[in-house]
Amino acid sequence: MTLELDRITIARDGAPLVSLSARIEPGQVLTLMGPSGCGKSTLLAAIIGALPPVFALSGRILLEGRDVTALPIEHRRIGILFQEATLFPHLSVAGNLAFAQPRRTPDRGARIDEALAEAGLEGFGPRDPATLSGGQRARVALMRTLLAEPRALLLDEPFSGLDTDRRARIRDFVFQRARERGLPVLLVTHDAEDARAAGGHVLGVDGLETDL
């Protein structure tokens, strides 16, 4: 599984905002750094296929060598984690996880329990997502993303809302799960510590390698 960004340019009203090429190998993390408002999140929106119409995109997005640029979001199989875990408030924890499972998944309930156990959240299935701590929410969101069986993982500052202590643990948890599954990961952050922990290359929105 690889994610390749082939001469991607995002422009608004003719002015280029983001311009880069990159190739992320399975299990690797590419970090994109920059101050807020520089267009990092816009790039993520483009990659998953949710770019607002005011932006113009050129270039190609390739997943496992297949051009997915023209596909709608749900056919791309690219998972995303936001800073706020965006769990669906009307569903239980288990309901959120079940939503992500492909329809033909066998033993749906057992797999949900496994996922919860993997996240250290045994027995949290019937819980109301609104009653979870920030770290718990982040873990549920990750497991939800993984249950959808994505081919790549995008992280939109998913650790910024957590305190320093918990931040490191969640970060390691996420990277470890991604490595185990051989997922290419694109991390967007403005935090150098996150970038260091990711261990891979670090780019700016101009596509140039950044020194930490």
Which residues contact other proteins (rule: CB under 8 A)? 11, 45-46, 48-53, 55-58, 61, 69-74, 76-80, 82, 86-92, 99-100, 102, 128-131, 144-145, 148, 150
CA distance 190 to 195: 8
Task: Please say whether the beta carbons of 57 and 9 come within 8 A.
Answer: yes
Minimum distance from residue 193 beta carbon to other proteins (Å) = 25
Q: Which one, 157 or 202, has the nearer CB to other proteins? A: 157
CA distance 166 to 153: 21
Minimum distance from residue 45 beta carbon to other proteins (Å) = 7
What are the CA-CA distances from residue 84 to residues 62, 94, 110, 152 (Å)? 27, 18, 27, 20
Number of residues that make up the chain: 212
Minimum distance from residue 105 beta carbon to other proteins (Å) = 11
CA distance 147 to 169: 21
Count other Cβ atoms within 10 Å, centred on residue 162.
Answer: 19
Task: Please say whether the beta carbons of 186 and 24 come within 8 A.
Answer: yes
SS3 29: strand
Minimum distance from residue 104 beta carbon to other proteins (Å) = 12
Q: Which one, 150 or 184, has the nearer CB to other proteins? A: 150
Q: Which one, 95 or 204, has the nearer CB to other proteins? A: 95
Minimum distance from residue 102 beta carbon to other proteins (Å) = 6
For 29, the token pair is: 């993390």
- Give CA torsion, residues 43, 48, 54, 57, to 10 deg: 70
Q: Which one, 45 or 170, has the nearer CB to other proteins? A: 45
Q: Which one, 73 or 192, has the nearer CB to other proteins? A: 73
Q: Which one, 70 or 212, has the nearer CB to other proteins? A: 70
Minimum distance from residue 181 beta carbon to other proteins (Å) = 15
